[in-house]
Chains A and B, each alone.
Chain A
Amino acid sequence: MKNIEELKLMREKVKQDLRLRSGQHRIKIVVGMGSCGIAAGAREVMNEFVTLIENSKRSDIIVTASGCFGFCAQEPMIHIYVEEQRPVTYRNVDIEAARLIFNEHVLNNRVVEQYLFSKGKK
């Protein structure tokens, strides 16, 4: 029999897991994964985001993939959707940029001008 503290911890963990999977999220990161994106290193970038999200212990952020965004020369590109805000698109996102954007934009809601492609609907 487990004690009450352990049970509480388990409950928190399951709740977090559930939220992660049931699509209840506040921030969505979409990585462009067309041929152009993959060739430019989008897989490393997506992996970095998965790791960053794991490390941040936030359960309201998800990362998914989409096809080509249509600006192949500027790949890897990402969209960031924050709830009730206009989406922001970044270009030439390498691993370093991914960390910067995650810390600034995703966690602190500050747009990173250096890699900015566009704000609002594309």
Chain B
Amino acid sequence: MKDLADHLFDILENSVNAGANEVIVKIAHTKSYFFCSISDNGKGINGQEVLDPFVTSRKTRRVGLGLPLLKRAVEDTCGYLKIMRIDESGGTALQFKMYLTHIDAKPLGDLSRTFSDIFFAWPELALKLFRIENDTEKLVLDFQELRIEIEKGQKDYSNIRKHIQEVSQKELRI
């Protein structure tokens, strides 16, 4: 993984693989750190075991590296990765923090493209993106809403990639 944008796409793919159709992503982004919390309604994971590369629910291959790689990348910067399971409703919640000023920090990469990629890669996924700033949460993107607007003809499907990238770029910058 070259940058954080790749990692983000990768762990969101985990959610889809776990059967999630709703994902909530919250991002706090300052000059010194990048914080992200993700919760989904998939089938859930075992918080301890999943960080072991040799634990995976997949059948194609016996090693799972997505989360261990992210854990390594954030811990290299003195950050953390925490995995929580939401017991009542099922699903998984995780959060991580990466210190961007640390010398071992990976580049952020193009986060706005991560979201446009997700929109095209999984047409069924209802993703909501929030930006956390000064303890308030602001809704930046709502894929379900976007799809309804396309359905009604209020938005143009062919411009949607640009739209998602522009909105997330504008809202996620420091």
Interface residues of A (CB under 8 A from B): 14, 17, 20-21, 31, 33-36, 38-39, 43, 46-47, 50, 54, 63-65, 67-70, 72
Contacts and interface: CB of A to CB of B under 8 A. Distances in A.
Given A43-B113, A50-B120, A38 B1 contact: yes
B157 A64 contact: no
Interface stretch (B58-66, B81-89, B97-105): B58-66
Interface residues of B, number: 28
A65 B121 contact: yes
Question: SS class of chain B's interface: helix, strand, loop or mixed?
Answer: helix
25 contacts: A17-B150, A17-B156, A21-B151, A31-B121, A33-B9, A34-B66, A35-B13, A38-B1, A38-B6, A39-B1, A39-B2, A43-B9, A43-B113, A46-B117, A46-B120, A46-B121, A47-B117, A50-B161, A54-B158, A64-B120, A64-B121, A65-B120, A67-B13, A67-B60, A68-B61
A20 B157 contact: yes
A68 B59 CA distance: 10
B13 A65 contact: yes
B121 A33 contact: yes
B123 A68 contact: no
A17 B158 contact: yes
B60 A43 contact: no
Given A17-B156, A54-B158, A64 B123 contact: yes
A97 B38 CA distance: 34
Contacts of B122: 64-65
Interface in B133-153: 150-151, 153
A67 B6 CA distance: 14
Nearest to B14: A35
Contact of A47 (B113, B150, B157): B113
B57 to A, nearest CB: 11
B15 to A, nearest CB: 12
A45 to B, nearest CB: 11
